[in-house]
Amino acid sequence: MTRNEAASDTLVIGGGVVGAALAWGLARAGERVTVLDDGDIVLRASRGNFGLVWVQSKGANMFDYARWTRRSADLWPEFAAMIGEETDLDLAYEKPGGMHFMLSETELEAARARNFAMKDVTGPDDYGAEIVDRHELDKIFPGLGPDVIGGSYGHHDGHVNPLKLLRGLHIAMEARGVRYVSNARVESVAKDGAGFAAETAKGRFSAAKVVLAAGHGTTELAPALGLDMPLRPEKGQILVTERCATRLLPMPTHVLRQTDEGTVLIGDSHENTGYSTASYTPVLTDIARHALRCFPALAALKVVRSWGCVRVLSPDGCPVYHASETCPGAFAIACHSGVTLAAAHAMELAGVIASGSFGDRFAAFHPRRFSHAQAH
Amino acid sequence: MPKRIETGGATVTFTFDGRPVTAIAGDSVASALAAAGITRLRDSVVSGAPRGIHCMMGACFDCLVEIDGIPNRQACMTLAAEGMTVRAQQGAVSVSEGGRA
Ligand SMILES: Cc1cc2nc3c(=O)[nH]c(=O)nc-3n(C[C@H](O)[C@H](O)[C@H](O)COP(=O)(O)OP(=O)(O)OC[C@H]3O[C@@H](n4cnc5c(N)ncnc54)[C@H](O)[C@@H]3O)c2cc1C
């Protein structure tokens, strides 16, 4: 069974939020794009994440990442409006700023130091994170628990319904002519004449360029194209309450967010449990306990769902963007915070990929930084 | 419309919005309501559209009802018991610092 009749400029492998944002952006740049996606059973961070568009604290260890995150947050309002218009879907994107609650002096001091260290990363654009004291917090968050001693407020933070984002990207990319093929797990992808060919359960697909954006699936496909994608799994568990008519949270915090439809999402753990997505009560209990320390009123709400989901993390937690040196036209893109970066991926990175090479961009995100670390 | 395939056995009686419903011991609230021809269990908080039973195995959270004063209980996962007060739901719960409003 071969379905490679329609020629494509670019094959995007993976239809999660990263692949879909790139496919939409490539189509917007005028390309004919085919997205090859696996089925429902594989790991899919895009379907189990927290939905923050979060700037503060990102890239504390790599300022290029901090600037790129900020760039994406700046693009987000326009991006959300465009996807909204092209799909008639409301992504429930809001940018009210975000708060990171601090429950100890140590945490508060660390946040103060981090905000200070990062205050100039975006130059005159203002990093936009400031420490607020308990008195200020009380004005913003009535009903805060006694253990919260302060917070870090990020002006550029926001949140979105991540499932609507993924759905919106899929509808919008298909409306722009992107061919989406599901249950088409790519078994191998290699150079083929002047372009590339992918072997899938649904036949062979070829194109002039190829972008690996398959989350954890990327690592194994990368070497055949001279690409390197070192990734590690890290589980996060999330709890979801019943819908609540009371607006408890006027803005998202780094572990609590109330959706436009009323539910409160409570996250999230950082667990070294391999590729398992299992959800366990002890961790959920810790998550709930922390949430109640922040907001005792949450005790009145019933939890209706919980899940575990595996993050796509590089060794330093920052994005890995690799344009193949040996097979020009082949790219590998992976990141944690693919929701936050969706706007920059769709509106900037896609355009750079369409040009065929990174040029002098994204040097900081090259995977050579990891081999360098090992060599020392 | 779902119909019982097994009849007989001990019965329990509860009310749904004040109206008595007779269940067979072992029925979930959802199956007893379905057998009694009651399909509209709540209205969607988001769209206002009517909601009723769907998966009948605890996964979909469509059949939420108020049982003995506690809202958002899954009718399909709750055994019908003598004297229960079950109500259809409208709107979302409210909370205040003191608990549920
Ligand atoms: C608990 C948790 C909370 C998070 N919270 C946030 C947050 O608040 N904000 C934020 O910005 N980010 C957050 N993230 C991170 C974010 O979810 C990820 O960065 C993002 O979803 C990664 O998207 P992806 O498309 O790279 O990966 P995935 O969603 O994993 O998609 C990869 C796709 O590739 C496909 N695939 C895999 N192998 C193959 C193959 N061989 N052939 C074809 N297709 C293949 C899969 O089917 C899948 O559709 C969170 C993640 C987790 C786990």
Assess whether pLDDT exceeds 70 at residue A350.
yes
Residue B91: pLDDT band (50, 70, 90) is confident
pLDDT at A1: 43
Structure confidence by residue, pLDDT tens digits, A68-121: 999 999 999 999 999 999 999 999 999 999 999 999 999 999 999 999 999 999
pTM: 0.93
Beta bridge partners of A27: none
Give tens-digit pLDDT for A187-200: 999 999 999 999 99
- The pLDDT value given to residue A217: 96
Does pLDDT of A373 surpass 70?
no
Rounded to whole angstroms, how far apart are CA atoms A311 and A337?
9
Q: pLDDT for B35-80, tens place per residue?
A: 999 999 999 988 999 999 999 999 899 999 999 998 999 999 999 9
For chain B, give every domain's residue range: 11-90
User: What is d(CA A158, CA A96) in angstroms, rounded to the nearest whole number?
Assistant: 6
**pLDDT value at A324 more than 80:** yes
Is the model's pLDDT at A182 over the cut of 90?
yes
d(CA A174, CA A343): 18
pLDDT value of residue B98: 65
pLDDT-based confidence at A331, cuts 50/70/90? very high
A321-343 average pLDDT score? 98
For B62, the closest chain A residue by CA position comes to A304
ipTM of the complex: 0.80
A311 lines ligand 1 (CB under 6 A): yes
Give the pLDDT confidence score for residue A225 in this predicted structure: 98
Mean pLDDT score across all residues of chain A = 94
Per-residue model confidence (pLDDT) at position A60: 95
> What pLDDT, on a 0 to 100 scale, did the predictor assign at position A376?
40
Interchain contact B1–A (C-beta under 8 A): no
Nearest residue to A216 (alpha-carbon basis) of A314, A118, A86, A355: A314
Q: What residues contact residue B6 under an 8 Å CB cut-off, 6+ apart?
A: B24
Count CB-CB contacts under 10 A for residue B57. Answer: 10
- The ligand 1 atom at the shortest distance from the C-alpha of residue A186 is 42
What pLDDT does A375 receive? 42
A207, A12 Cβ separation under 8 angstroms: no
Q: How many whole angstroms from A184 Cα to the centroid of ligand 1?
A: 17
Q: Tens digit of pLDDT for each residue in A355-371?
A: 999 999 999 999 999 98
Instruction: Check whether A238 has a pLDDT greater than 70.
Output: yes
A132 CA to chain B: closest CA distance, Å? Answer: 22
Q: What's the topology of domain B11-90? A: Ubiquitin-like (UB roll) (3.10.20)
Q: What is the pLDDT of residue B101?
A: 61
A221 CA → ligand 1 middle, Å: 16
- CB distance B72–A302 less than 8 Å? yes
Q: What is the mean pLDDT of residues A124-149?
A: 95
| Pick from A122, A76, A121: nearest CA to A95 | A76
Interacting residues of B85 by C-beta distance below 8 A, sequence separation 6+: B14, B15, B67, B68, B69
pLDDT value for A128? 94
Question: Which of A272, A336, A345, A349 to mutate for ligand 1's pocket (most ligand atoms within 8 Å of CB)?
Answer: A336
Q: How much is the pLDDT for A127?
A: 93
Burial classification of residue A188, based on how many CB atoms lie within 10 Å of its CB (0-12 exposed, 13-18 middle, 19 or more buried): exposed
What's the A93 CA to ligand 1 centre distance in angstroms?
A: 19
Q: Give the model's pLDDT for residue A242.
A: 92
- Average pLDDT (A298-324) is 95
Residue ranges and CATH numbers for the domains of chain A are: 2-49+163-230+316-375 (3.50.50.60), 98-155 (no CATH), 232-313 (3.30.9.10)
Question: Nearest residue on chain B to A302, judged by CA atoms?
Answer: B72
